[in-house]
Structures are given as structure tokens and as C-alpha cells.
Chain A
Amino acid sequence: MGNLRIRSRHQPYEIAVLAAAPLCGVLMLTLNVRPTSVQTSMPAPIQVAWELGLIAVGVGGLLGIVWPGRLSTGLGLELASVLVLGTITGMYAVAVLVMSGRNSLVAISFVMAVTVGSLWRAAQIAIDLRRLARACELVTYEQLRTGVT
């Protein structure tokens, strides 16, 4: 059988971004402010969803990383979180780009980097989940065949 290797879930950049997201969302909620770019380029319900999504993504992602139960559940939570995080940051990048154009080069670069990183990590988790599922099948099959306990 191949070796089962799940990538480490303690990745500093990912954790930092996932921790910053809900902080940012909660601050926006409590201080009642939103970036002008978001206000101008999204309809109101999408704005609210975007803001709540930031909080949900951060909480869900961190929860998935420290999930004490099944590894697959934790990975699934993390997968969903990084997927939505990629979407949210991508939306923000587009909004900033539309509003500020080439003046916002640096901001867009970093926000897009978060988007790319999130989708990258989502792909990694998807691969790991498939490996895990295959390993589970294989182990039960091996157990049946050789009687390993």
C-alpha cells in the first residue's frame, strides 16, 4: 500500500489570515463601517453576506483546524472555509480594483495572494481527503485479508 500522508494543518499564513478574518468582520459589525469599495460595488444583501462570511470563514476554518473529532470532518470544515475565504477575498480584490484602479496595486496584490493561497490550500485538502478515503477502504480490505488488528 502507498503511504498515507496528510499535510500539516498548522500553516502559519493560513492561520493568521483565518484569525484576521473574523476579527475584521466583528470590528466592521460593531463599528458599523464598511470599505467604500465594497459599498459601491456590491448590492446590500451581498454586502451583509460578505461581512458575515468573513466571520463564518474565520471561525469555521480555525474550528476545522483544531477539530478534536474525526480528521475528515475537520478537513471538510477547513476546505469549505478556505473555499469561501478565497471567494470573499477575490470579491474584495475586484471591488478595490474597480474603485481605485492602478492606485491599489499593492493592496490588490496581497489580497489576490490570499485568494490564490486559499484556493491552493483547498486543492490540497481535497487531495488529502481523497487519499484518506482511499486509505480507509484499503485498511479495511487489508484487515479482511490478513486479519491484522
Chain B
Amino acid sequence: MNSSPPPAAPHWVQVALSVLGILGGGTGLAAIAAVVVQRGKFKADAADTLTEAALTLVQPLQTRITQLEGEALSARSELGTLREQVNQLQFVVRVLTRTLDRWRAAIRAPDATLRKVRATVAESDRIPEMDR
């Protein structure tokens, strides 16, 4: 260091700074020692901790998603059966409309007789049964 020693500060400053330095250094070493000693507390790796914590948070959402997926599936299958029923009903309506048209034409025909109308009705009686 410098060849000529500079004038020394008051003695109490030297003592105080020494104590401060030793205290600070000791605290630092103690901090390292504490973390080393308590290693067991930090079992999981940092990344593991984070992902596992995230997983714990996500878990309820996942069960909810599974539940909703199940509900969506059942709703879709119900929709399928309903659509088929609608198709069948549309078909029946079409057949009935055609039958009704034929009967009306038979009744409104200028040469309509009770026998002819009865014959038409009897003929078309069988058709829906055939279609069903």
C-alpha cells in the first residue's frame, strides 16, 4: 500500500468498522450455511416446483374439462337421435300431404261419386302402411 502511512482515524472508528466487518462477513457465511443446512427443505428442483405447483392449480380445471367433454359428447349423440326423428317425421308428413292431396282431388273431381272416393281411400289406405 502507500509507503507513507496516512494519519490514523480515531481508534473507535477502527474498532467499530472491524466489528461491523466481522458481523457482516459472519452473517453472509451464516446465510450460506443456513441454505446449505436446509437443503432438504428444497427437495424439488426449481423447475419441478413450478410445474408441479402449476399442475396443482390446473387439476380442477382439467376435471372440469373432462366433465364438459362428456356432456358435449352426450349432447351430440342426443342431437343425432333427434335429427333422425325429425327426418322420419318429415317423411311421414310428406306422405300424409300427398295422400290428402289425392283425396281432395278425388273429392273435387267433377265426376266424383261416393264409390270412386271410397275406392281411392281404400287404395291409399295401404300405401302409408307399405311405406312405414
Contacts and interface: CB of A to CB of B under 8 A. Distances in A.
Contacts of A43: 14, 18
Contacts of B10: 98
Given A87-B27, A135-B49, A42 B17 contact: yes
Interface residues of A, number: 52
A53 to B, nearest CB: 7
Instruction: Tell me the dominant secondary structure on chain A's binding face.
Output: helix
B24 A94 contact: no
Contacts of B9: 40-41, 95, 98-99
A73 B32 CA distance: 9
Interface residues of B, number: 42
Contacts of B36: 76
B21 A136 contact: no
Interface string B42-81: 1111100110110111010000000000000000000000
Interface string B15-32: 011101101110111011
B35 A73 contact: yes
A84 B49 contact: no
